[in-house]
């Protein structure tokens, strides 16, 4: 009688047992749902409806309002991501340590999103968007930590692909929906608000139920212990920080164009508001179709090959080429080509990036906190991008020099990733 040998890479960290195909499917569905919904909800506002609305409020230039909102709001995201990651690491409840935070964050984000959609002052807009970021990261940090807590190492590339695919689809759908309601923004904002409410709830329903987390009575509670939860990793963390820097540079370069694509179409390509919205919508469809297909293929391939760095480098190179197309050829056609090339590169990147991040964690017991720190790369990249873009546009009176800066940033991030030693 043959005995099936199960490797350590096939065992779930929380149970020490293999995960059934049904539960692997539920994890995948949960990651896809979560990422589709939070990206859809945020993109409806930040990429289309809010930029269009800011042009009509009379409180400043649209780019300035958008840049201020994102820059300050993402600082709140930066702080709250680390805080909620650390708090979920230390939490104990019969629902598990991650689940309660994921459920609570959605309604908080919904309130912030709705208030942003009705605020008419810079202070109100910034405060409301900051509240949204707190709610989002209350869900995001614990949800990402599930990859480390509960998913066997063998399947992390595949699950990372689901995670990336969900973000890609959500971002594209958000752009499409936002563009469709650019002349009826109240309906678009209402759709986003409802999606935020059910984001966390739907996620915990889909993923397998988390095991109760019980406090170890042998460990005495101390305030010092809680504070230590927030310390950054030091020992054996070289690759961890290289992954942080590499991701930061890519996200920064990527968002310099993607975060301002409506304005790029209007100010650089020379389209009207309506034509720009239609172009952005078409770009979203192209990006979604290509990146979704590529992402779902790249994750399993990465798992089979056992390689993370090479796919990240190749994807960064593709993204840089995509950015160069409209820079050198400022037309609507070039923007559509950019969307396709960007979809190819970003699809590969998103499929492998989360798996790489989990693989370089110095201490799996502090996954929530450390992944929260790695997610600072997303946060800081999105903080820096609008500041740099606004500065370049102001200094040069246009978007021409935004593109080469973005290309340099993306390639710098790719090169840094190659120096990681812990993963292939």
Helical segments of 120-221, H only = 122-150, 156-180, 185-206
The H or E element containing residue 320 is helix 309-328
- Cα angle at 165 between 164 and 169, to 5 degrees? 120
CA 328 from centroid of its chain's CA atoms:
28
Q: Is the dihedral of CA 25, 164, 380, 119 positive or negative?
A: negative
What contacts 8, CB < 8 A, 6 or more positions away?
A: 153
As a whole number of angstroms, the distance between CA 59 and CA 65 comes to: 8
As a whole number of angstroms, the distance between CA 351 and CA 298 comes to: 6
Per-residue pLDDT tens digits for 150-200 = 777 777 767 777 777 787 788 878 888 888 888 888 899 999 999 999 999
Q: Which residues pair with 213 in a beta bridge?
A: 93
Q: How many CA atoms lie within 13 A of 167 on its CB side?
A: 18
77: how many CB neighbours lie within 10 A of its CB?
Answer: 25
As a whole number of angstroms, the distance between CA 140 and CA 134 comes to: 10
- Cα angle at 204 between 140 and 165, to 5 degrees? 55
Give the 3-state secondary structure of residue 213: strand
As a whole number of angstroms, the distance between CA 76 and CA 28 comes to: 29
Look up residue 195 and give its two tokens: 């999606």
Tell me what pLDDT residue 220 has. Answer: 46
Tell me what pLDDT residue 8 has. Answer: 66
Indicate the burial class of 64 (C-beta count within 10 angstroms; 0-12, 13-18, 19 or more): middle
Domain residue spans of the chain: 18-417
Look up residue 319 and give its two tokens: 């993204």
Look up residue 93 and give its two tokens: 């409840």
Tell me what pLDDT residue 190 has. Answer: 93
As a whole number of angstroms, the distance between CA 184 and CA 192 comes to: 13
pTM for the full predicted model: 0.71
Tell me what pLDDT residue 205 has. Answer: 92
Look up residue 67 and give its two tokens: 């840049």
* Helix-helix angle 238-258:309-328, to 10 degrees: 20
Those residues of the chain that have pLDDT short of 70 are 1-9, 12-16, 157, 213-237, 298-308, 354-355, 358, 362-373, 375, 422-424
As a whole number of angstroms, the distance between CA 212 and CA 351 comes to: 30
Tell me what pLDDT residue 221 has. Answer: 41
Q: How many CA atoms lie within 13 A of 210 on its CB side?
A: 28
CATH class for the domain made up of 18-417: mainly alpha
Q: How many CA atoms lie within 13 A of 274 on its CB side?
A: 2
């Amino acid at each position: 009688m043959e005995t099936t040998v199960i490797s350590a890479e096939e065992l779930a960290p929380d149970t020490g047992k293999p995960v059934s195909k049904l539960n692997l499917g539920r994890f995948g569905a949960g990651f896809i749902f979560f990422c589709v919904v939070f990206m859809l909800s945020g993109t409806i506002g930040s990429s289309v409806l809010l930029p269009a609305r800011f042009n009509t409020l009379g409180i400043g230039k649209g780019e300035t309002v958008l840049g201020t909102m994102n820059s300050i709001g993402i600082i709140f995201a930066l702080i709250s991501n680390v805080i909620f990651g650390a708090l979920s690491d230390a939490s104990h409840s019969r629902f598990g340590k991650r689940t309660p935070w994921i459920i609570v964050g959605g309604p908080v984000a919904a309130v912030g999103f709705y208030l942003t959609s009705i605020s008419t002052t810079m202070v109100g807009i910034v405060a409301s968007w900051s509240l949204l970021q707190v709610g989002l990261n209350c869900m995001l940090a614990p949800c990402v930590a599930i990859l480390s807590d509960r998913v066997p190492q063998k399947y992390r590339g595949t699950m990372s692909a689901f995670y990336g695919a969900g973000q890609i689809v959500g971002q594209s759908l958000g752009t499409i929906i936002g563009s469709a309601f650019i002349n009826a923004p109240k309906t678009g904002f209402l759709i986003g608000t409802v999606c935020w409410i059910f984001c966390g709830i739907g996620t915990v329903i889909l993923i397998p139920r988390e095991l109760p987390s019980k406090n170890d009575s042998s460990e005495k509670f101390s305030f010092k212990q809680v504070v230590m939860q927030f310390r950054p990793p030091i020992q054996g963390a070289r690759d961890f920080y290289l992954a942080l820097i590499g991701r930061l540079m890519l996200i920064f370069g990527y968002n310099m164009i993607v975060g301002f694509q409506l304005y790029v179409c209007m100010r650089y390509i020379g389209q009207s508001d309506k034509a720009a919205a239609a172009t952005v919508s078409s770009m979203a469809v192209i990006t979604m179709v290509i990146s979704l297909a590529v992402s779902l293929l790249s994750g399993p391939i990465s798992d089979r090959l056992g390689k993370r760095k090479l796919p990240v480098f190749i994807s960064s190179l593709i993204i840089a080429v995509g950015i160069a197309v409209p820079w050198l050829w400022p037309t609507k056609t070039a923007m559509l080509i950019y969307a396709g090339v960007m979809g190819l590169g970003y699809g590969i990147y998103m499929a492998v990036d989360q798996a790489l991040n989990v693989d370089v964690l110095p201490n799996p017991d502090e996954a929530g906190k450390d992944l929260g720190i790695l997610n600072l790369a997303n946060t800081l990249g999105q903080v820096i991008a609008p500041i740099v873009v606004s500065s370049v546009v102001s200094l040069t009176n246009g978007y021409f020099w935004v593109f080469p800066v973005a290309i340099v940033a993306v390639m710098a991030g790719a090169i840094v990733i190659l120096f990681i030693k812990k993963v292939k």
